[in-house]
Amino acid sequence: MDGKTHSHEAPSWVGRTLMAVGISGAAFAALCCFAPFMVAGPVTALGLGFILNDALLMGLLVLFIGVAVLGYYFVRRQKCA
């Protein structure tokens, strides 16, 4: 912990990591939803063909966007404090 971080605040890398995971996951879900022919082969070869269900992809897209927003909140809170 550095001198400016209080015990109840998350470390600065947490927000950046959450943003990276959220943006990557949302991009993957959007790519699977809008262009499934591009990812159908590798995803099916890995045994994850069930992910290509549109209802599941929309849920994953919303979930990963939420993770990215949470990470953005952590990053902004660190910079504003």
Query: Tens digits of per-residue pLDDT, 33-77?
Result: 888 888 888 888 999 888 888 888 899 999 999 999 999 998 888
> For residues 17 and 71, is the Cβ–Cβ distance under 8 A?
yes
What sign does the CA torsion over 66, 72, 78, 81 have?
A: negative
Alpha-carbon span 29 to 67, nearest angstrom: 13
Q: What is the pTM for the complete model shown?
A: 0.76
pLDDT value of position 10: 65
Q: Exposed, middle or buried: residue 2 (CB in 10 Å: 0-12, 13-18, 19+)? A: exposed
Which pair of tokens denotes residue 12?
């600065």
Q: Residue 81: pLDDT band by 50, 70, 90 thresholds?
A: low
> Which has the higher per-residue pLDDT, 20 or 53?
20
